[in-house]
Amino acid sequence: MGDTLYKISYGLYVLTARENGKDNGCIINTAQLVTTTPNRISVTVNKANLTHDMIVNTGIFNVNILTVDTPQSIFEHFGYQSGKNVDKFADAQHNDNFSENGVRYLPKYINAYISGKVVQSIDLGTHTMFIADVTETKSFSDDDSVTYDYYQKNIKPQPKVESGGNTKWVCKICGYIYEGDEIPADFVCPLCKHGASDFEKVEEKSAEPTRYKCKICGYIYEGDEVPEDFTCPVCKRGAEDFEKL
């Protein structure tokens, strides 16, 4: 059932909040428009996230709409660590961008942000759904928004498993590898905080060479890296037109 649910067309967003001068953000995959008169959106947030508590206390937030060129480092920064332990906005590259509600938005890798003011909260057990009036929107580009499916296939690093080791289980959310004959039913991924139900057994196989595909003609190059002066023998394009498979 889990694999089927992941086929729903989720987006991926950085949800930001601010309370008492502290800024924080987390990755969410459930944000949508629910009414147009008035304009209202919903976001659903895990209660374990500090961002959740900040929104409960302040009632305001920003939804940062990520684009397909968002690097894995952004998902790791906002999704694989807790704002309870680190200052996610300590790095200057995330600073000095405030919307009208006083909450930060990201300066890169977003095509727009939406500011919300909570009008209703719905307790969903492990999560809270916040229904919010849209107080501001700002668009930066027409770049495609990243979906959960795109992230899984094109951004998230794929686990590399060599033969001869212990049984390995991979988290389908973030790629974390657990080693052991069985994964405990109460195990929680240390990176993305998902449970054992989101892990699948990895079939061991011999290591395969790294492959690069020419985006023009489909020619496959095998090697650790495509040399900068390499020319495709089929269409004569350069190394910049090759992408890693």
Give the pLDDT confidence of 52-84 residue by residue, as tens digits. 999 999 999 999 999 999 998 899 889 888 898
Both tokens assigned to 149: 């499916």
Each residue's pLDDT tens digit, 203-227: 765 556 788 888 887 778 888 888 8
136 close to 63: Cβ distance less than 8 angstroms:
no
User: Could you tell me the pLDDT band of residue 5, with boundaries at 50, 70 and 90?
Assistant: low
Q: Nearest 5°: phi and psi at 57?
A: -80, -35
Closest by CA to 86, choosing from 24, 16, 21, 17, is 24
Separation of alpha carbons 139 and 137, rounded Å: 7
Which token pair is 65? 């709409």
The residue type of 108 is K
Range scoring the smallest mean pLDDT among 87-101, 123-137, 160-174, 223-237: 160-174
DSSP string for 12-52: -EEEEEEETTEEEEEEES-EEEEEETTEEEEEEEETTSHHH
Residue 13 has pLDDT above 80, yes or no: yes
Output the six-digit token pair for 182.
Answer: 């069985």
pTM above 0.75, yes or no: no
Question: Residues with Cβ < 8 Å from 114, sequence gap 6 or more?
Answer: 31, 41, 62, 63, 65, 134, 136, 137
Q: Give per-residue burial for 187-223: e unless 16+ CB within 10 Å, then b.
A: bebeebbbbbebbeebeeeeeeeeebebeeeebebee
Q: Which amino acid is at 33?
A: L
pLDDT value for 174 = 73
Nearest to 128 by CA among 15, 35, 52, 41: 52
